[in-house]
Amino acid sequence: MAGDRVRFVRGRPDAGPSDSAGLTTTYDRLIDELHPGDRVVLADGTVSLLVESVERNAATCRVTQGGTVRSGQGVNLPGVKLTVPALSEEDRDRAAWAAAAGVEYIGLSFVRREEEVHELKGLIASAGGHTDVIAKIEKPEAVENLESIVRAADGVMVARGDLGVEIDIAEMPIVQKRIIAICRRYCKPVIVATQMLDSMQHSRLPTRAEATDVANAILDGADACMLSGETAIGRFPRESVEMMHRIAVATESVAEPTTVRSAVAEVAEGINPITHATCSAAGELAERLGAKLLLVATATGTTARVLSKQRWSVPVIGVSDDETTRRKLCLYWGVVPVDGAPVAERQAVLDFVESEGRATGQLGPGDRIVVLSGLGTSTSRHNMVLVHEVE
């Protein structure tokens, strides 16, 4: 309760509490980082403490906003620049295991600088993996270094739980929009997470504000909206997923894609200008001709990622002979990966997709497929657009 005293004591929780009346954390140096007057925020901002005194092995805090704290919840120190490294030894071990196991994405928590992204990528490469790195934007330093972090990462998460505690909550909507806009400009997938349908932890229906929040993230150009507490500990996990799907479908049915597309009109860093131009040509052609599908064979997923960010109204079918790439494509907006396609020959891929489309009722006689592929004179990029008409 407000006015109560709480002590943080040195020691790790898995080693047993070093003080029966104190709280412990997994960060060994927490006591060293605290100073009288610092704010400590727990449980996604629902509990606030003010540091009153610091001793060698403990810090005494006064509760300024009371609430319930569960084991394993996060600790935030707004305004305090921690000396903790981005990757602990445990993080390194787990990342190496994930890379070796073929995991598609690893989220890097509390990233502050692009060097931390490069450090994790180097670790993944040394483990022989091809795992992509999702930078979780949760710290003020990450907002300050946002553009360089987006360039370095393979994708970004707007981690609103911690970010909304670390910065002024009144600035959160504008920061979210800025993050999404920069990700669009660099053709990087972006996920918006935390409290999107929070009330559905206890209710079968979201609030009007929550439904609008999900819709606005989609309209701004997010690739994915993520549920967390709603499905992890909520009473209505299935209903939460169904509701988010309903909101997404309703929003996308009336969204104007050209608004988002204008943000990627200029060539993004790291994207070959030929790839960017041919993607634009293929998408424009598909829309003008009323094509049913836009087909792209991709080794690494880059071409499919550019098409995704350009937000064409025509579904993009991504085929690849690399299973990891096909799984990664699931994160990209508007892209449907297809298994089993014979990627080596263009006509064989077309025949496969046409056969599958006929079988599912998606394609019929006279329907068109726009294909983005290479001529065979260059193995590094797509340089040809063709139109296939189903007979």
Give pLDDT tens digits for 334-387.
999 998 888 778 888 888 899 988 988 889 999 999 999 865 444 556 678 999
pLDDT at 92: 95
Homologous superfamily (CATH) for 265-389:
Pyruvate kinase, C-terminal domain (3.40.1380.20)
pLDDT(83) > 90: no
Q: Which amino acid, one-letter code, is at 278?
A: T
Which residue did the predictor score with more confidence, 364 or 264? 364
Mean pLDDT to the nearest integer, 136-165: 96
* Out of 35-39, 82-86, 281-285, least confident range: 82-86
Q: What average pLDDT does the chain have?
A: 90
The predicted model gives 242-266 an average pLDDT of: 80
**What is the per-residue pLDDT for 376?**
47
Give the integer Cα–Cα distance in Å for 88 and 83.
Answer: 12
Mean pLDDT, residues 284-296 taken together: 95
Give the Cα separation of 155 and 164 in Å (integer).
20
Backbone angles phi, psi at 261, to 5 degrees: -60, -35
Q: What pLDDT does 378 receive? A: 44
Would you say 190 and 158 are in contact if contact means Cβ atoms under 8 Å apart? yes
Tell me the three state secondary structure of residue 261: helix
Q: What is the model's pLDDT at position 241?
A: 99
Q: pLDDT at residue 229 above 60? A: yes
Q: What is the pLDDT of residue 257?
A: 66
Region 229-244 average pLDDT: 97
CATH 2.40.33.10 residue window(s) in the chain: 5-76
Residue 46 has pLDDT above 70, yes or no: yes
Proportion of the chain above pLDDT 70, given as a percent: 92
Cα torsion through 115, 119, 122, 123, rounded to 10: -170
Tokens of 253: 């049915």
Whether this prediction's pTM lies above 0.75 is answered by yes
- Which pLDDT score is estimated for 374? 66
- Is 134's pLDDT higher than 90? yes
4-18, 161-175, 246-260: range with highest mean pLDDT: 161-175
Write out the two tokens for 287. 């829309």
What integer pLDDT is reported at residue 217 of this predicted model?
A: 98
Yes or no: domain 5-76 corresponds to CATH 3.40.50.800: no
pLDDT of amino acid 91: 94
Going by C-alpha positions, the residue among 254, 182, 256, 194 that lies closest to residue 224 is 194
- CATH 3.20.20.60 for domain 89-258: yes
CATH 3.20.20.60 residue spans of the chain: 89-258
In the chain the beta strands, taken as DSSP E runs, fall at 5-9, 22-23, 39-42, 47-54, 58-65, 75-76, 105-108, 132-137, 155-159, 190-193, 224-226, 293-297, 316-319, 335-338, 368-373, 384-389
pLDDT at 17 over 90: no
Res 258 pLDDT > 90: no
- Considering only CA atoms, which of 351, 342, 356 is closest in space to residue 297? 342
Indicate whether 306 pLDDT > 60.
Answer: yes
Q: From CA 276, how far away is CA 272, in angstroms rounded?
A: 6
* C-alpha dihedral, 93 to 96 to 102 to 104, nearest 10°: 90
